[in-house]
Amino acid sequence: MELGINYDQAVKLLDEYIKDPIVKLHCVESEYIMRDLAKYFGENEEEWGIIGLLHDIDWDLTKSDPSQHCLKAQDILKQAGASDYLIETIVSHCYGFQFNEKLKDLKRETRVQYSLAASETLTGIIIASALIMPDKKLSSLSLESLKKKFKNLKFAGNCNRDMVMECEKAGITIDEFLDLGLRALQKISDKLGL
């Protein structure tokens, strides 16, 4: 995997394009789950972290027109020197969405693509689960509680469970993935303010 940009460049790019603090935290959350997945699979942790960090690089520009999400990212990343591999991997997390005419019929095919889609979606369920804890702390959230929340389709209903389940196509069971994701975010709870 050659990404074309290093971690310091990725952080600068994030700071330049993402001003919304909630979106920025989501990108960091995705980075850390991706790093731990890379470790689990024996992949390059920094490269997978960069992929997670930059996956929503165009969100501030496209949130009012989701049909452009991941498409504007191509231009931003290309201009920054990103490789075709990095661009394609990031864009893949929008494959299958009906709101995006150009990407709706495309399918994820690689371990890193499945991992990114699953990781960035899982962040929403974990954070929502922590926020309903009495102290609103990730440290108070147990794996058992997270599993129950994941199975309850009414909880954090806009988090697509099918996308999270793509972790299994990557090669990790859903139970292992929920545990890995929770521990990844608990490690950075201070950074997340949770």
Q: pTM for the full model?
A: 0.95
Question: pLDDT tens, 46-71?
Answer: 999 999 999 999 999 999 998 899 99
Domains parsed from the chain with CATH numbers = 7-189 (1.10.3210)
Average pLDDT in the 59-88 region?
95
Residue of 185 and 100 predicted with greater confidence: 185
pLDDT surpassing 80 at residue 98: no
Number of H helices, E strands in the chain: 12, 0
DSSP class of residue 43 equals -
Average pLDDT in the 12-28 region?
97
- Residue 62 CB contacts under 8 Å (≥ 6 apart), including other chains: 68, 69, 71, 72
- Percent helix, strand and coil across the chain, each to the nearest 5: 65, 0, 35
Asked if 112 contacts 45 with a C-beta cutoff of 8 angstroms, the reply is no
* H or E element in which residue 75 lies: helix 71-79
Q: How far is CA 155 from CA 145, 146, 161, 192, in A?
A: 12, 11, 11, 21
Asked if 57 contacts 76 with a C-beta cutoff of 8 angstroms, the reply is yes
